[in-house]
Amino acid sequence: MSRPPLIGVLALQGAFREHVRMLETVGAMASEVRLPKDLLGLDGLVIPGGESTTIGLLMEKNALMEPLRAFAREHPVFGTCAGLIMLAKDTTDGPQPLLRVMDITARRNAFGRQLHSFEAPVELTLAGVAHGSMRGIFIRAPWVDDVGPGVEIIAEYDGRIVGVRQGHLLAIAFHPELGDDTRLHSYFLELVSAHRN
């Protein structure tokens, strides 16, 4: 029997402990990532929420930007909230450090500032199959303004794109790790498993 997948969680800022808990709930082993050496041996990576400009600056300070780009080209990565922004090729909000590995344009704080945080049902479509709704927890959340031809829309709320997949890369505008619905983390592990085989 093969070992469970080993998933790194970028632990520079944000709700990384909640992602660790959720990954362990769905059967993965989880490891915190702060330095390039922490990427060695991982099967996948989660980039959690937080403040995207700060996360980008911390990536640069810890010499993680290029190692993360290289990792994302070869391994599944799951970005949530600020993680979605970090994976994007561009934002509508001016220059900032980005990994630029997904063909999407993100709009930061698209639903408003912290005091405009809310919960609402999000419609999920995974692997081309409708999966009903999921409670989306939106905290200073982005949305996806524009997608390239190779990007699949997997989550929508109020006519806005709040979840996308491009090959082995997954990005969600809300915080599934703060709820108890494990479907997106399980789906990410399916991508990891397919990539390992």
Residue 175 appears among annotated catalytic residues: yes
State the catalytic residue, choosing from 75, 168, 175, 185. 175
Question: Over the chain, what is the mean pLDDT?
Answer: 93
**Which residues have CB under 8 Å from 32's CB, separation 6+?**
8, 9, 11, 16, 20, 38
Residue 168 appears among annotated catalytic residues: no
State the catalytic residue, choosing from 18, 19, 75, 81. 81
pLDDT for res 104 = 98
Do residues 49 and 80 make contact, with C-beta atoms less than 8 angstroms apart?
Answer: yes
Residue 177 appears among annotated catalytic residues: yes
Joined tokens for residue 136: 């989306």
- For residues 33-61, average pLDDT: 93
Half-sphere exposure of 80 (CA within 13 A, CB side): 25
Reported as a single tens digit per residue, the pLDDT across 138-168 is 998 999 999 999 999 999 999 999 999 999 9
Q: CA nearest 108: which of 118, 120, 98, 121?
A: 98
Percent of the chain clearing pLDDT 70 (strictly above):
97
Reported as a single tens digit per residue, the pLDDT across 58-97 is 999 999 999 999 999 999 999 999 999 999 999 998 788 8
pLDDT for res 1 = 43
Which of the listed CATH numbers 3.40.50.880, 3.40.640.10, 3.40.1260.20, 1.10.1740.10 matches domain 6-196?
A: 3.40.50.880
For the chain, the structural domain boundaries read: 6-196
